[in-house]
Amino acid sequence: MASDTKKNLLDSAERAARQRGYDGFSYADLAADVGIRKASIHHHFASKADLAVALMRRYYTDLEAACAEIDSNHPTGAARLNALIARYHEALDGGQSLCLCVSFSTGTDNLSAATIAEMTRFRTMMLGWITRAFLQGQKDGTIRGVVDPTAEARAALPLLEGAQLAARVAQDPQKFEAALGLLTARCAP
């Protein structure tokens, strides 16, 4: 595998970015966390922009794998959607953390074009998966009232992200649950 240090840096950076945003962490923070000097980080990631791209790419892969695992563990559309909602809920970490893509979304001006491209790619992938979950839920009847799976997905992803944001501001995961209540009710047995 890639060096442990590199993985540790990515782990530390992802944690920091999801808690404090792109502008909210520095090479000094990472250095202290990982246990090397900040100059050494440049050996692994020449610039912070490169690090951001690497973070988004790994995040993409991770969530793609998570969605695939959900598919193989849950046959119905409702169960799949509920599993994704649960994952976004866990990602909150008690109201202190966000999806990496959400966390990056505000400070777009400081992000490189390459990073924004990765964020777009990520949202496209998630949108596709959510659409298929609604389609499945419409077919198997486990999600009530689905007329247009595409329209549902286009609302569900922003809702998940906005709900995370609301929970983050309030430092209260219940805000997330409250925001998703209407949707989960439609997925209940």
SS (H, E, C) 6-58: HHHHHHHHHHHHHHHCHHHCCHHHHHHHHCCCHHHHHHHCCCHHHHHHHHHHH
Verify binding: residue 94, a second copy, rule CB under 8 A: no
Q: For the window 35-74, what string marks contact with DNA as x by the rule CB under 7 A?
A: -xxxxx-xxx-xxxx-------------------------
Q: Going by C-beta distance under 8 Å and a sequence separation of 6 or more, which residues neighbour residue 105? A: 119, 161
Residue 21 binds which entry of a second copy, DNA, none, CB below 5-8 Å type-dependent = a second copy
Question: Is residue 18 within 8 Å of residue 100, measured between CB atoms?
Answer: yes
How many residues belong to the site for DNA (CB under 7 A)?
Answer: 20
User: Can you tell me which of 76, 80, 88, 152 binds a second copy, judged by CB under 8 A?
Assistant: 152
Q: For the window 161-180, what string marks contact with a second copy as x by the rule CB under 8 A?
A: xxx-xx-xxx----x--xxx
How many residues belong to the site for a second copy (CB under 8 A)?
Answer: 44
Can you tell me the distance from the alpha carbon of 129 to that of 80, in angstroms, rounded to the nearest whole number?
Answer: 10
Q: Going by C-beta distance under 8 Å and a sequence separation of 6 or more, which residues neighbour residue 28? A: 38
Residue 152 binds which entry of a second copy, DNA, none, CB below 5-8 Å type-dependent = a second copy
Q: Going by C-beta distance under 8 Å and a sequence separation of 6 or more, which residues neighbour residue 89? A: 173, 176, 177, 180
Verify binding: residue 129, DNA, rule CB under 7 A: no
Query: Within positions 102 to 131, which residues make up the interface with a second copy, using CB under 8 A?
Result: 102-103, 105-110, 116, 119-120, 123
Would you state the torsion angle of the CA atoms of residues 113, 117, 122, 128, taken in this order, to the nearest 10 degrees?
150
User: Can you tell me which of 7, 15, 57, 154 binds a second copy, judged by CB under 8 A?
Assistant: 154
Can you tell me the distance from the alpha carbon of 34 to that of 8, in angstroms, rounded to the nearest whole number?
Answer: 6
User: Can you tell me which of 5, 19, 26, 40 binds a second copy, judged by CB under 8 A?
Assistant: 19
Give the interface with a second copy as residue ranges (CB under 8 A).
19-21, 23-24, 98, 101-103, 105-110, 116, 119-120, 123, 148, 151-152, 154-155, 157-163, 165-166, 168-170, 175, 178-183, 185
Give the interface with DNA as residue ranges (CB under 7 A).
3, 5-6, 25-29, 36-40, 42-44, 46-49
